[in-house]
Amino acid sequence: MTTTDPRTTAGEPGGPGAAGDSGDASGLSVVALSQGQLVRRRFFRHRGALAGMAVLLFVIVLAFSSIGFAGIPGWWHYSFTQPTPIENGGRPTLDVVPWLDGDGLAWGDHPFGQDNIGVDYFALTMRGAQRSLIIAFMVGVVATIIGTLIGALAGYFRGWADSLLMRVTDVFITIPVIVIGAVLGRRFGALPIALFGAILGVLLWTSLARLVRGSFLSLREKEFVEAARAMGASSSRIIFKHILPNSLGVIIVAATLVIAVAILTESALSYLGLGVRAPETSLGLLISDYESAFTTRPWLFWWPGLFIVLIALSVNFIGDGLRDAFDPRQARVRS
């Protein structure tokens, strides 16, 4: 109570009635912000999420603009398939540390070095990042659609749909994601990567469905849903017009976290040789290909790993920021 008391006066988001009285221009200044404004404000105050957002955007722009995408050429002058003569043992020319035998910030000819046959490793890493991002995005889209749909049905109609979902979840809990992913990857890994991503998405919807279900279970008992039902709204109208917009926070946060899991799952599967196959590439596959070169050409191992961590970390931070932004209980009182 003590901590919520001051906040009730600061305008509870969506508190019924709170907004109605404040229009009075007589010196009452109950700040009534819309849900969207509040979310945006809280998100932009989360420094980790902002940094994550910046890093992720940077990686996406870098990966797609450098080597080009879908026939559109990029600005990087080396290809990720054609070897060039190996210079300086293929060592990276990127130099950012001026005080350690370097010349200060320098991009160089092959910033990430070259692999053992002379392919530019920056181009290769960018290609891998591109592929991994596409797969993660596909997983996110497919898992979110399936998870939201099933979670919404189970949470709203309960009954058999709900028990079916819970039993399916029970089954999926016993199967580690990597395990079923490996089995599916063995079968579908050679497919075009977007399709492979979609298939992985079919695996990763369960956690999302459970969260959406929980959200629907509690929202369906709320007064505004009762009201809509009393006015004779159809089930589909109640689901899409009344409950879904209120579950959006849960869905967005869960979808973000699914994408982070997808990046890691894809790279692990590709590392095991049970995901993306040559001639296609991905960050996980690059690490797998060059793992044995760790002692002689460590950079072949470092760069793709660094990019996986960078992507997963920034997505996780964005997810954390979104959760804080959508969950008003976590509003912080600075000490």
Partner 1 sequence: MVAFILRRLLISIGVFFVATFLMYVLVANAGDPLEDLYNISDPGDRAARIAARTQIMQLDTPVVVRYVHWLGDLLGYLWGAGSLGVNRAGQAVAPLLGLALSSTLRLVLLSTVLAIVTGVAVGIVSALRQYTSFDYTITFFSFVFYSLPIFWAAVLLKQFGAIAFNDWLGDPVVPLPVFVLLAALGGLFAVSLVGGRTWLLRGASFAGGFLAVAAVLLVLSQTDFLARPSLGPVGVSVLGLAAAVGITALVSGLAARRVLIASLAGAVVGIIIYVATLSVLVDATWPLLLGLFAITLVVAGGVGAGIGGIDRSRAVRAAVLSGAVVAGLGLVDWLMFAWPDYVANSFGRPIATIGSNTPNYTGNLWQTTLDSLTHIVLPSITLVLISFAQYTRYTRSSMLETMNQDYVRTARAKGLTERTVIMRHAFRNALIPVTTLVALDFAAVVGGAVITERIFGWKGMGALFIEGVYTVDPPPVMAFFVVSAAAVLLLNIVADIVYAYLDPRIRLS
Partner 2 sequence: MSAATPAPGAPAAEAPVLQVENLTVAFPTEDGVVRAVRGMNYAVAPREVLGIVGESGSGKSVSSMAVMGLLPRSAQITGRILFRGEDVLSMSPRQQRGLRGRRVSMIFQDPMTAMNPVYTVGDQLAEAVRSHSAVPQKVALKRAKDMLDLVGIPQAEARLRAYPHEFSGGMRQRAMIAMAIINDPDVIIADEPTTALDVTVQAQVLDTLMSVKDAVDAAIVFITHDLGVIAQVADRVLVMYAGKPVEIGTTTEVFSKPLMPYTAGLLGSTPSAEGTRAGERLRPISGAPPSLISLPQGCPFGPRCPLVRDDCRASEPELRHRGATGAALAGVAAGAPLPVVSPNHLAACHHSDELLAAADATRFFRAESEVTS
Residues that bind partner 1 (CB under 8 A): 1-3, 48, 167, 170-171, 173-180, 182-184, 186-187, 260, 264, 267-268, 271-274, 284, 287-288, 291, 294, 301, 305, 308-309, 312-313, 315-317, 320, 329, 332, 334-335
Q: Which of 13, 31, 236, 283 binds partner 2 (CB under 8 A)?
A: 31
Q: Name the residue among 259, 335, 261, 253 with its Cα closest to residue 39.
A: 253
Q: Name the residue among 240, 241, 239, 243 with its Cα closest to residue 222.
A: 243
Taking the complex as a whole, the smallest distance from the CB of residue 178 to partner 1 amounts, in Å, to: 4
Taken in order 188, 194, 198, 201, the sign of the CA dihedral is: positive
Nearer to partner 1, 243 or 322 (CB): 322
329 scored as a contact of partner 2 (CB under 8 A): no
Nearer to partner 2, 26 or 174 (CB): 26
Taken in order 202, 125, 257, 60, the sign of the CA dihedral is: negative
The item of partner 1, partner 2, none sharing an interface with residue 10, based on CB under 5 to 8 Å by kind, is partner 2
Taking the complex as a whole, the smallest distance from the CB of residue 89 to partner 1 amounts, in Å, to: 19
Nearer to partner 2, 47 or 187 (CB): 47
- The CA radius of gyration of the chain, in Å to the nearest whole number, is 25
Distance CA 133, CA 276 (A): 13
How wide is the angle at C-alpha 225 spanned by C-alphas 140 and 210, nearest 5°? 30
Report whether 249 contacts 164 (CB < 8 A).
no
Taking the complex as a whole, the smallest distance from the CB of residue 220 to partner 2 amounts, in Å, to: 23
The item of partner 2, partner 1, none sharing an interface with residue 218, based on CB under 5 to 8 Å by kind, is none
22 scored as a contact of partner 2 (CB under 8 A): yes
Half-sphere exposure of 236 (CA within 13 A, CB side): 0
One-letter amino acid for residue 199 of the chain: I
Distance CA 139, CA 127 (A): 18
Report whether 316 contacts 261 (CB < 8 A).
no
The 33-72 site mask, x for binding partner 2 (CB under 8 A), equals ------------x---------------------------
Q: What share of the chain is helix, strand, coil (3-state, %, to 5)?
A: 65, 0, 30
The item of partner 1, partner 2, none sharing an interface with residue 21, based on CB under 5 to 8 Å by kind, is partner 2
Taking the complex as a whole, the smallest distance from the CB of residue 37 to partner 1 amounts, in Å, to: 24
Peptide bond into 92 cis (omega under 30): no
Q: Which of 14, 30, 86, 320 binds partner 2 (CB under 8 A)?
A: 30
26 scored as a contact of partner 2 (CB under 8 A): yes
The encoded tokens of residue 80 equal 């990720």
Taking the complex as a whole, the smallest distance from the CB of residue 271 to partner 1 amounts, in Å, to: 5
The item of partner 1, partner 2, none sharing an interface with residue 175, based on CB under 5 to 8 Å by kind, is partner 1
Nearer to partner 1, 243 or 283 (CB): 283
Strand, helix or coil for residue 72: strand
Which residue is listed with tokens 């007064």?
223
- Binders of partner 2 among residues 237 to 256 (CB under 8 A) are none
Instruction: Give the helix/strand (H/E) hosting 263.
Output: helix 244-271
Interacting span for partner 2 (CB under 8 A) from 27-35, 113-121, 174-182, 278-286: 27-35
Q: Where along the sequence are the contacts to partner 2 (CB under 8 A)?
A: 1-3, 5-10, 18, 21-22, 24, 26-31, 45, 331-335
